[in-house]
């Protein structure tokens, strides 16, 4: 069980991934994944299709979502796993989070127009697979298309982040609400890619403590978007707080994500994998 190929965080076109939910599942299966969670940002709409495809292929599947949360004036991401995707509190909470995205996107576009880059909202919409879910990734792909930056990573160095054109402050869910919705729906809560949060060190420690107090269960120790040094650091955090450990790719699409589905490093063997509570 510890050595199974589990990948518990990835995206489809229902949020900012490049592949449909079915294509994500097929790629996971082809890559030898035993247990997959689809975790689109703030959205559950891809889960039924993904589950049906996984069941047809005989591959394990876990319902998931990656929730946008405000913490210390920054955004942190909390993955929910193994919940009832029809639970009213979760469904309503995620709708509320999604609903803020349109106005934010319009304001991002207005901010870019001020430096002479016009029509970005409309351009980004051409990359959106789900009209309820416009994200900075769609902006980034359009900015690459019009030659403003050479690739998506380069966009996020010069635009769309704090202090740069196209950045807009936004209030996401509170940590309390996010864990409340996940737990009400019977799921487990996981701190996503803690190595990528832009919080000060002390605020990250406060996040671990508050998350633990709220009954948060797990932390991503290995993520395709974190370094090997991060894995060592967050393995220590998992031991210290008694968190279960997750292993993920955070795959968004071929050519865009550094690590393919199911191809992340394995977890340190002394940690208890979060999937021991999901299968």
Contact residues for ligand AMP, defined by CB under 6 A = 16, 41, 68, 135-137, 152-153, 156, 252
Write the interaction track for Mn ion spanning residues 210-249; mark x where CB under 5 A is met and - where it is not.
Answer: ----------------------------------------
Q: Does 40 bind Mn ion (CB under 5 A)?
A: no
Write the interaction track for Mn ion spanning residues 62-91; mark x where CB under 5 A is met and - where it is not.
Answer: ----x----------x--------------
Write the interaction track for Mn ion spanning residues 158-197; mark x where CB under 5 A is met and - where it is not.
Answer: ----------------------------------x-----
CA distance 192 to 246: 9
Question: CB pairs under 8 A, 24+ apart, for 267-271?
Answer: 267/2, 267/221, 267/222, 267/235, 268/221, 268/231, 268/235, 269/2, 270/239, 271/221, 271/235, 271/238, 271/239, 271/244, 271/245
By beta-carbon proximity to ligand AMP, the closer residue of 151 and 213 is: 151
Q: Least distance from C-beta 264 to Mn ion, angstroms?
A: 13
CA distance 151 to 147: 9
CA distance 197 to 177: 19
* Main-chain dihedrals φ then ψ at residue 210, nearest 5 degrees: -65, -40
Q: Does 26 bind Mn ion (CB under 5 A)?
A: no
Q: Least distance from C-beta 30 to ligand AMP, angstroms?
A: 23
Q: Least distance from C-beta 91 to Mn ion, angstroms?
A: 20
DSSP one-letter code for 76: E
Nearest to 175 by CA among 75, 38, 84: 75
Interface residues with Mn ion (CB under 5 A) are 16, 66, 77, 192, 250
């Amino acid at each position: 069980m510890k050595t199974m190929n589990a990948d518990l965080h990835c995206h489809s076109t229902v949020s900012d991934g490049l592949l449909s939910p079915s294509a994500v599942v097929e790629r996971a299966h082809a890559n030898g994944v035993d247990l997959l969670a689809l975790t689109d940002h703030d959205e559950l709409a891809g889960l039924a299709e993904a589950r049906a495809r996984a069941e047809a292929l005989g591959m394990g599947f876990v319902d998931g979502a990656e929730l946008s949360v405000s913490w210390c004036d920054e955004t942190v991401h909390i993955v929910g796993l193994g919940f009832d995707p029809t639970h009213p509190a979760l469904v309503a909470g995620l709708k509320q989070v999604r609903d803020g995205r349109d106005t934010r996107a319009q304001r991002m576009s207005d901010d870019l127009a001020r430096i002479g880059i016009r029509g970005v909202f409309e351009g980004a919409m051409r990359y959106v697979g789900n009209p309820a879910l416009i994200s900075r990734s769609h902006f980034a792909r359009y900015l690459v298309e019009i030659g403003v930056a050479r690739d998506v990573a380069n966009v996020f160095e010069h635009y769309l982040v704090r202090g740069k054109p196209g950045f807009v402050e936004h209030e996401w869910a509170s940590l309390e609400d996010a864990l409340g919705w996940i737990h009400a729906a019977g799921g487990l809560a996981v701190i996503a890619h803690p190595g990528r949060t832009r919080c000060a060190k002390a605020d990250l420690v406060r996040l671990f403590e508050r998350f633990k107090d709220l009954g948060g269960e797990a932390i991503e120790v290995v993520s395709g978007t974190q370094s090997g040094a991060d894995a060592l650091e967050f393995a220590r955090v998992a031991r210290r707080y008694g968190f279960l450990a997750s292993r993920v790719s955070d795959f968004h699409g071929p050519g865009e994500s550094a690590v393919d589905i199911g191809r992340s490093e394995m977890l340190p063997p002394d940690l208890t994998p979060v999937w021991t509570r999901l299968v």
